[in-house]
Structure 1
Amino acid sequence: MRKKKVALLVTKEHHCLGDILLRNYFNTLGADVQCVIGNYDTLQPLTEKFDIPFHHIAHEEKEKHLFELEILETLAQYEFDYIILAKFMRILSPEFMSKYPARIVNIHHSFLPAFVGANPYKQAYERGVKVIGATAHFVTNVLDDGPIIAQQTISVNHTHSVKDMIRLGREIEKSVLANALQLVLQDKVLVYHNKTIVFEN
């Protein structure tokens, strides 16, 4: 099987990117990371430690279509099979996503369909949930509603603060994204309408 190639989009959080870069370095990712694109330069030093090209494309004081056009122009320099949103905290337009149908994988910091959008751990804390989780899914035009690839949960209780939930959630996010990427990169995921068929054996 041909080894897949991936491009990563990031913002400021390092945990998912760091996990992917380590797996890539030790050849356990199942793919080759071609580049990392960040809307902040926060993660540039980490990326360059692994000799991976980093492109800083700022979104601030810039119209969304121009921001996305710069990303597309940068991506056009590389060959890749999938785009991985490794905690990329920007909502992509339908026009952008239409160029890569079922080829953009996102990690969302909640057990979807619960707590869609921003600040899910705060939402979970305020709701008093007993489990929190993370979901890896393909990106579609509807926010955090794409076909689900993998999910995982962990128990919490009244003693956990929002910060505790965020800390625990980051560990789950890394694990779920790694699991999802392994499945996708090994061609074990089929998309059917808004669902996936996953062959885990």
Structure 2
Amino acid sequence: MNELTILISCTDQVGLVTNITRVLAAHQLNIIAMREFVDEANEAFFTRIACTGELTEPAKLKNQLLENLPGAAEVNLIGQAEKQIAVLVTKEYHCLAEILIKNQFRTLGADVKCVIGNYESLREFTEKLGIPYFYVSHADKDKSQFENEIKTIINQFGVDYLVLAKFMRILSVDFVKDYSGKIINIHHSFLPAFIGANPYRQAFERGVKIIGATAHFVTDNLDEGPIITQHTTHIDHNFGVKEMVRAGKEIEKKVLLDALELIFEDRVFVTGNKTIVFK
């Protein structure tokens, strides 16, 4: 028995669930889980459906679903194929380590095809776990050349997503456009607070009592892409910048891995600059 995930977004109207389930029943698909959300302000409908059954005509199913939905509907049929990812890093190891350990024990929900770093710092650790590591220096070339070299590597592997695991370089508009909707970043603050560099120092200087981390999709606007997950932890006057960084790294690991799990299980819709997450 095959498993199938169906993601649908469209204009909201009466009878949508009935129309959808009728089409699925006609294809002998058994619904084992179905989540829906209606964005009333924008009159938009979103649903994630998990099915089992032998789907012999996927194109026909998709066309019939579209015929029974309002105009400008989107339907994605997603099989059981494991997602393929590339991880981009600089020097910090904590997020990469979490990803590669889960990958090693096949609990990541995806397959890490390669790691690309703009320093050599993480090569030894990466290669010990059997993952190809590619070094692309940013120091001796312009941004366009630097990014083109990264693209050449990425495109060898045909990955579904790029994970910025503390990749401390700002990507160009053209690079982001080429991988639109496929780049996930972990930012070490509770966005929208403390955008950009040195957020822990910014937080320290502001005297905050809560710090956090945010996993988000990357867009043209720095650290302002659709947010996937966020977590926080309480701090007090005893925390200097170093203590904040130490506490923050633990949050960063959890937030990034939580976000990746949701994405790899196809539980995230992007709508405008927001996300709808079916946990």
Query: TM-score normalized by structure 1?
Result: 0.99
The equivalent of 1:27 in structure 2 is 106
1:76 is paired with a residue whose SS is helix
Cα-to-partner distance string for 1:36-83 (whole Å, 9 max, x where unaligned): 000001000010011000000000021000000100111111121000
Aligned AA (1:18) = A
The equivalent of 2:250 in structure 1 is 171
Q: Mapping of 1:152-167 within 5 angstroms?
A: 152-167=231-246
The equivalent of 2:164 in structure 1 is 85
The equivalent of 1:182 in structure 2 is 261
Query: TM-score normalized by structure 2?
Result: 0.71
User: After alignment, is 175-184 or 70-79 more displaced?
Assistant: 70-79
Q: 1:15 pairs with 74, 86, 94, which one? A: 94
> Matched residues in 2 for 1:159 and 1:128: separation?
11
2:185 is paired with a residue whose SS is strand
The equivalent of 1:95 in structure 2 is 174
Runs ≥4 residues deviating over 6 A: none
> Matched residues in 2 for 1:79 and 1:68: separation?
16
> Matched residues in 1 for 2:263 and 2:155: separation?
22
| Greater length-normalized contact order (CA 8 Å, ≥ 6 residues apart) | 1
The equivalent of 2:271 in structure 1 is 192
The equivalent of 1:72 in structure 2 is 151
Percent of aligned pairs sharing the same letter = 58
The equivalent of 1:147 in structure 2 is 226
1:178 is paired with a residue whose SS is helix
Cα-to-partner distance string for 1:65-122 (whole Å, 9 max, x where unaligned): 0000100111111121000000000000010010111100000000000000000000
Q: 1:174 Cα deviation (Å)?
A: 0.2
Q: 1:113 pairs with 176, 192, 200, which one? A: 192
2:141 is paired with a residue whose SS is coil
> Matched residues in 1 for 2:140 and 2:194: separation?
29
> Matched residues in 2 for 1:14 and 1:103: separation?
22
Aligned AA (1:187) = D
Unaligned runs of 5+ in 1: none
> Matched residues in 2 for 1:117 and 1:52: separation?
30
1:77 is paired with a residue whose SS is helix
The equivalent of 1:38 in structure 2 is 117
The equivalent of 1:59 in structure 2 is 138
Aligned AA (1:68) = E
Aligned residues: 200
The alignment's C-alpha RMSD in Å is: 0.5
Unaligned runs of 5+ in 2: 1-79
> Matched residues in 2 for 1:180 and 1:112: separation?
15
Aligned AA (1:63) = D
The equivalent of 1:131 in structure 2 is 210
> Matched residues in 2 for 1:76 and 1:150: separation?
28
1:133 is paired with a residue whose SS is strand
> Matched residues in 2 for 1:123 and 1:150: separation?
21
